[in-house]
Structure 1
Amino acid sequence: MKKKMFFTALLAGLNCVSISAQVGSVGINTASPGSSLTVNGSFAATYRVVTASGTIGANDYYIAYNGTINGTLTLPAAINGTGNFAGRTYHFKNTGGATLTISANGTELIDDQNGAGTGVPSITVPSGYYAFLVNKGAVTGTTWELVLVSSSNSMPSVNQTYLFSSAQQNAFKQTCTATTGPTWQKTEIKYNQGMDINTGNVLDLSSGRFKAPADGYYMIYGSAQFDNSEISGQPGFAWCVLYLVKNFATTPNNQLVQNLHTNPGIFAPGIVSAVVHLNKDETVSMASAAQLNGGGPQYQVTSTSIYGYKIAN
């Protein structure tokens, strides 16, 4: 033991490094460490680049995923008793163009502070994003804690916000069923003239529904012109309403916001917008309803547009 201590001291001296201990604390290049370990100088840990799925080891610290296809990196399994690595940290950066998934081991979970009180088996790190995790020391349940997920860019890319945008011109008019009884008849607005932007095909042109590709908060904006100029007799509107509706297919009365006009004549504009939290695969549609003076069965909308994007997880 004495020989080992002598060799360590000799090595430190040869490298002009001062190692001092004070009341259980260790200082490097300082004689008065203020913490259990104080380093008066630079610090280095393992930097590893990976391009495919794999497991994270005890010697890993910072991992850059530079894969061209989606990949999964699996965290090490918890250890009970001797060898428990509570407080171990890992840093991940997705430097490639695909999606990185960080997965807990087996049935273990990652505490992502989602408000539900339960963890998740994995998290995703989009291209350009960074994730920081720390081990909680537990051996079951949420064994890891997600400290931070952030982007290295001030503005995320289109792929990370799922931007979509579409607009119909005046030449296209959608014919809708008018309300003739006590129950308002809602019609989803479609965009037959296609998309200017449709990242990941998040907007279904055949139904007019935006489908959330991931949990998060989304900004949705829509507009339309109620226009009966080509309906026989040009009937005036008794009232007309433009909506944003959540999950129209299953709950068509779940409107998020509406814009109402009463007795506007044969024309009326509508503008709607909302910030809404959506779970993965939930939808938002722009829809309309109208009743005509004289109780006609049909009306038309034109110049419709919709756009949106994800604003937060």
Structure 2
Amino acid sequence: MRKSLFFVALLAGVYGIKAQTGNVGINTPSPASTLTVNGSFAATYKTVTASGTVGADDYYMAYNGTGIGTLTLPAAVSGAGNFAGRTYHFKNTGPGILTIAASGGELIDNQNGPGVSSIDIPSGYYAFLVSKGTLSGTTWELVLFSSSNSMPSVSQTYLFSSAQQNAVKQNCIATTGSAWVKTEIKYPQGMSINTANGVDLSTGRFTAPTEGYYMVYGSAQFDNSEVAGQPAFAWCVLYLVKNFATTPNNQLVQNYHTNPGIFASGIVSAVVHLNAGETVSMASAAQLNNLGAQYQVTATSIYGYKIAN
């Protein structure tokens, strides 16, 4: 026992550890807080390149993976061992997307609703989280989420663009009755900018990689010059649609023309909130004066980017 006390006293002398009224100080004789350090501080720095579980010995984790990765926070602990106040720092230093996920049914409090099961950290972004010590619901709190750059790079705003040249025409089903028939515009032979692989050219849909607000623009030319008989349009309308495959379709905005002849142009734009996995696409609808069954659109394009979380 005497040897143990002597060893503790020796360590205290070597490292300058002082105790005063229940407080502990390092390199200070008068610690005014529970722990006062008069000097530098260091904690574990770890670089990871693949998905995994965040451990009790982790503190700062830099994700340098080339693809999508997930780091799962530790599960809440009841009673002895509860780690309320434990902090973790995450930085995405690679080109892929890093997801920080809560364990099981636990949630992360991001101060925006009841909590989320995970948060995505794009390349160049940093997140700071702290354990709330709770056992269910929002067990973690997002303290800070920020970018290393004052202006995010293109890859961080999920820029997307698809366009077809004037030579490529899409056949669309015309409305012949009272119910309008909407056709989703596709880009099977189009050119694209496809950050995070968000655009499906076969459907024309942009899928949001992460929750947030997106700016979307679209344009198209209604052109019946190559349709048999060159029928004129009774009316035509261009849409931006959220989640086109759902019923009913969520029309965000429209551009309408009545009796424009055999040509009409349309431009649409909108700011829309999307949850991760929700889509935005452009669609058209038209009726012909001779009630024909088909019309064409050409020179179609859609582009946009994420503007805020």
For residue 222 of structure 1, report the CA deviation from its aligned partner.
0.4
CA distance in 2, matches of 1:196, 1:137: 46
Give the corresponding residue for 1:11.
14
Give the corresponding residue for 2:272.
276
CA distance in 2, matches of 1:299, 1:178: 6
CA distance in 2, matches of 1:126, 1:260: 38
Give the corresponding residue for 2:95.
97
Q: Which among 46, 49, 64 is matched to residue 48 of structure 1?
A: 46
CA distance in 2, matches of 1:106, 1:170: 51
TM-score where L is the length of structure 2: 0.82
In structure 2, list runs of 5 or more residues that go unmatched. Answer: none
Which structure 2 residues correspond to residues 155-166 of structure 1 after superposition, within 5 A?
155-166=151-162
CA distance in 2, matches of 1:187, 1:70: 33
For residue 183 of structure 1, report the CA deviation from its aligned partner.
1.8
1:243/1:68 CA distance change after superposition, 3 Å? closer
For residue 52 of structure 1, report the CA deviation from its aligned partner.
3.8
In structure 1, list runs of 5 or more residues that go unmatched. Answer: none
Give the corresponding residue for 1:306.
302
CA distance in 2, matches of 1:255, 1:106: 36
For residue 255 of structure 1, report the CA deviation from its aligned partner.
0.9
CA distance in 2, matches of 1:179, 1:51: 53
Output the aligned Cα RMSD.
Answer: 3.1
CA distance in 1, matches of 2:173, 2:105: 51
CA shift digits 1:252-272 (9 cap, x unpaired): 542110011223333222100
Which structure 2 residues correspond to residues 157-236 of structure 1 after superposition, within 5 A?
157-236=153-232
For residue 297 of structure 1, report the CA deviation from its aligned partner.
3.5
1:153/1:289 CA distance change after superposition, 3 Å? same
1:300/1:35 CA distance change after superposition, 3 Å? same
Q: Tell me the SS of whatever aligns to 1:10.
A: helix
CA distance in 2, matches of 1:164, 1:232: 35
Percent identity between the two aligned chains: 75
Check the 8 A contact 1:20/1:30 in 2, yes or no.
Answer: no
Number of residue equivalences:
306
The answer as to 2:234 corresponding to 1:246 is no
CA distance in 2, matches of 1:262, 1:170: 23
Question: Partner amino acid for 1:239?
Answer: W
